Amino acid sequence: MSRGFQTGPVQAHRQILIAGLAIWMAVIFSGFGRNATTEFVPTVIFHEIAWMGTGTSAHQQWLELYNAGDTPVKLDGWTLQTESGSVHNRLSGTLQPGHIYLVARPDDDSFSGITIHHELQGYLSPEGEILKLYDDQANLVDRVDQWYAGDAKRAATMQRVYPYQKGDRYDSWKSSTIRYDNGYGTPGFRRPPPDYGQEIYYVYHGPNTINIFFNQSALIELALEGNEANHRINLEERIIDRIRSAQQRIDVTAYEINLPEMIDALMERAAAGIHIRLLLDAKVPTDDKRDHRYARMRLHLENMMRGRDGELGTDDSIHVFANSPIFAVADPDMREDFGLPRDPGRDLERVEVQIGSRRISGYILTEGERRGDKSYYSPSSQMHNKFILIDDYRVLTGSMNFTETGVYGGTRDRLQGRIRGNSNNLLDIHSPEITAIYREEFNQMWGSETMRPDPDTARFHGRKEHGRNPHHVNLGGIPVRVYFSPGYDVVRAIAEFVEQEARESVYFSIFAWSDSELENILKRKWEGSPYDLDGDPTGFRIKGVFERLFWNQWWSANINMEGREASRSSARNPNIRWRNPPPVFRDREARKLHHKYMLIDADTTYDPTVITGSANWSRNANDINDENSLFIHDRRIANQYLQEFYARYVQAGGAVYQDAIPRYVAAGEN
């Protein structure tokens, strides 16, 4: 880049020469210094190359470009070509920082559910090519001189090694070890750098697939062959990659949301014309710490509602609704810190409304479900769902709240890339049928099928009219049942399933468990008696981990399981103590054990089943809160949860005996 000089009439010609010489020397010596210490890495790089094609066909080649810088790069006029002339592609579009630009052939199902940014023209020789990337000024940006890695037999791609170096080096590349639908590779999503500690073994994109991600450790020694659990995963990254793949619409339900990068990704897609609806839980004021966190969430909400242009109700706005009204933060300094107008009254209406039994005034951000008399319901009941719907085919759901504590632990952890959040699981399901089921539930709470919510027809909690029966789906041979609460007694459904179907074992990892019916059915399985301090071991296996926050609450199932006298009892929580305490433990996680999953016969050949979702096993979750739960009948998915369960179990104080090895693994039935 040249720099202009302002010269006066008396400025000496000698000064110009000296200045020019100084610039020339700075350029020369900065170049020497750079080459002496490290090799120049371009902003846009070749990131992954499937020169061998896919497991379906050697002609289904693809490659990725990656923006390793911190500013957007316009690719209009850039060219991707081989020295042999076998490939010559003229690119277009804008590549955002940290984003992938996928070049592939969209003529088959190899990339179902993955956004292709440019259609590959030409063919890469498996014997080797010199691949070059030029910018719009014909400057060489990056190059690869040969296929330094990749495996044609396994359809394993050639992936750039982190930290990124020049592309034409042997030690800059490796063969992928992460599976996807058609081989080994990561088409369309960011591969975590190795120093992040994430262990991803597969990410499937195509129809009738389920990916399971855990943010804490798993014991992959217990995996079926080729079935290692994805663990120590940054769950926000997985969500962001799917958000970025959206082509038409995104629906989000959130008990709470404060992840800046996820919020930024949603705003980015809204600015690109994607229709986004966000359904939230309105909070009840509790204490200063929680109220401050809720205030920050409301500031994030207002930014999402304003979009990139900062204006409410424009094309890039995210549409927001809640179970009860949400008000804007009025504090001018907090608003300014979030880039909002200091005065909310500039474009928000100040209202006084009846919410439950209280009269409340303020600048309203979004309405909630309205009563017939135009007052609003109290926020005391929880919209506890946490699911995301991408277009018409993908559901993301599980136990994870979209918060810093849910993923990282805290702000400092997030900024330093440390995954120390609450223990959670995330399901990534590719199924138009399941997506339609979840969208029907979303629309019922939203009050309409349009972008605009309807407070008068919206239905939350026990007022919902649909979803009172389970939904049965065959997902590519995997039976899946979907339950929504309230409306259907999902905890009773769990109890009945355990009573009728569990043959050998039940293992669980649970945040809160107060339901006595499920507890008593397990007691009969464990020691053959429903009576207090009565029974003998039956040989049925029960193992579990409880969140320590609720470990000694009088209603917690662990007290009866341990054979202890509770401080009180009730009709719903009778003190029916177990005579033979099973191996259940209080968790020892760094933060909260936030799972809500149960594994039935996961280590047997019967019907290995996972029950998971947002619902704790309590009357509140069953009768009051909006929740979703899934029953998944599949031994490989159950085996992945089993690997995560034993990591939590051992950390809590349990032991891995020989019976931890699934029976079908020991028998070689992989």
Q: State what percent of residues in the chain have pLDDT above 70.
A: 89
667 pLDDT above the threshold of 50: no
How is residue 78 written in tokens? 């850039």
Q: What average pLDDT is seen over the chain? A: 89
Which residues contact residue 272 at a Cβ distance below 8 angstroms, ignoring those fewer than 6 apart? none
- According to the model, what pLDDT value does residue 4 have? 32
Instruction: Quote the pLDDT of residue 511.
Output: 98
Does 194 score more than 90 pLDDT? no
Q: How confident is the model at residue 33 (pLDDT cuts 50, 70, 90)?
A: very low
Architecture field, domain 471-666: 2-Layer Sandwich (3.30)
Class of domain 44-190: mainly beta
**Average pLDDT rounded to a whole number, residues 19-23:** 42
Answer positive or negative: Cα dihedral of 306, 312, 318, 320: positive
For residue 195, what pLDDT band results from cuts at 50, 70 and 90?
low
Would you state the structure tokens that stand for residue 302, as one six-digit string?
A: 């207002």
Question: What mean pLDDT is predicted for residues 222-241?
Answer: 95
Question: Phi and psi dihedrals of 293, rounded to 5?
Answer: -65, -40
Query: What percent of the chain clears pLDDT 90, i.e. is strictly above it?
Result: 78
* pLDDT for residue 583 is more than 60: yes
Residues 6+ apart with CB under 8 A from 165: 39, 41, 171, 172
| Residue predicted with more confidence, 123 or 489 | 123
Handedness of CA 500, 506, 508, 514 (dihedral sign): positive
pLDDT category of residue 193 using cuts at 50, 70 and 90: low
- Identify the weakest region by mean pLDDT among 4-8, 51-55, 447-451, 584-588: 4-8
Give the residue with greater pLDDT, 489 vs 337: 337
Mean pLDDT for 246-257 is: 97
Closest listed residue to residue 160, CA positions, set 196, 138, 191, 181:
191
Give the range with max mean pLDDT: 154-163, 277-286, 524-533: 524-533
Residue 221, pLDDT > 80, answer yes
Token reading at 283: 């909070």
Asked if 44-190 and 236-463 have one fold, the answer is: no
CB 103 within 8 A of CB 87: no
Predicted local distance difference test score (pLDDT) of residue 572:
83
Residue 38 above 50 pLDDT?
A: no
Beta-sheet strands, E only, within 315-400: 319-322, 326-327, 350-355, 358-366, 388-390, 394-398
Each domain of the chain, given as residue ranges in start order, spans 44-190, 236-463, 471-666
Residue 37 CA to residue 586 CA, distance in Å, equals 52
Classify residue 10 as exposed, middle or buried by CB count within 10 Å of its CB (0-12, 13-18, 19+). Answer: exposed
Closest CA to 575 of 558, 589, 550, 551: 558
How many Å apart are CA 167 and CA 136, to the nearest integer? 20
Q: Which CATH fold topology does 236-463 show?
A: Endonuclease; Chain A (3.30.870)
Kindly list the distances between the CA atom of residue 602 and the CA atoms of 200, 220, 493, in Å, as whole numbers in the listed order: 22, 15, 18
Label residue 166 by pLDDT band (50, 70, 90): confident
pLDDT at residue 660 in the model: 59
Over the stretch 313-365, which tens digit does the pLDDT of each residue have? 999 999 999 999 999 999 999 999 999 999 999 999 999 999 999 999 999 99
pLDDT value of position 119: 94
pTM of the predicted structure, to 2 decimals? 0.89
